[in-house]
Amino acid sequence: MTAIHKFTQIVESSLNSDEFALACFLDIEGAFDKASFESFRLAADYFGIDPLLSGWILRMLQHRTLTAELRGTSISMRPVKGCPQGGVLSPLIWILIADDLLRELNNSRIPAIGYADDFTLVSRGKFIDTVYSRMSEALRIVKKFTERSGLSVNPSKIGLVLFTRKRKFVTPSLSFEGKTLQLSSSWKLLGLEFDSKLN
């Protein structure tokens, strides 16, 4: 099932049940550049990857040399985090790390969809206060994940859309890292725009 299909199914089901569905669209910054080596090791352990193989991958990540050159002067260093963009193993490494977040959110009954470094979380229910409360908890889970993985989310790039057919309601406030998040009437998910009525 594709990310867009899964998202559409969740929201349609919510609308057909006369519920609210609050979708949060966020982007993990520096997914490839900043992910900690420890987060990969923990993910490899969780998935039962042979320690010899995961150790070899870790050594490859830790012992590569990065070189920058400007006007005939070069500087080299070894990275302390991240995996090479464009590297053959990099997408797999990121998927293993990101699965930790998706698993934790889904176990908390917050449907979560990931595509590369883009994540969509959906909190749904009959009562708007409960919907917002669960999304607040989901954002706490995201914050803990980014902190332990050496990553971040830019609050100004978070999108919130409240899908509902109801006409009268008062929306509670929601914040991330001290910044109040504003509702949008629509948002793009993987190039497709969704409005609050799912038109």
pLDDT in tens, 59-99: 999 998 889 999 999 999 898 999 988 889 999 999 999 99
In the chain, the amino acid numbered 49 is: I
Helices and strands (H, E) in the chain, number of each type:
6, 11
pLDDT score of 182 more than 90: yes
Angle at 165 between CA 167 and CA 158, to 5 degrees: 95
pLDDT score of 1 more than 60: no
Using alpha carbons, select from 35, 24, 33 the residue that is nearest to residue 141: 24
pLDDT in tens, 30-48: 888 899 999 999 999 999 9
Q: Which residues contact 9 (CB under 8 A, 6 or more apart)?
A: 1
In the chain, the amino acid numbered 158 is: I
pLDDT at 41: 95
Query: Phi and psi dihedrals of 72, rounded to 5?
Result: 85, -5
pLDDT at 192: 87
pTM of the model: 0.89
User: DSSP assignment of 145-194, as one string?
Assistant: HHHHHT-EE-GGG-EEEEE-S-S---PPP-EETTEEPPB-SEEEETTEEE
Q: Is 24 helix (H, G, I), strand (E, B) or coil?
A: strand
Report whether 126 contacts 14 (CB < 8 A). Answer: no
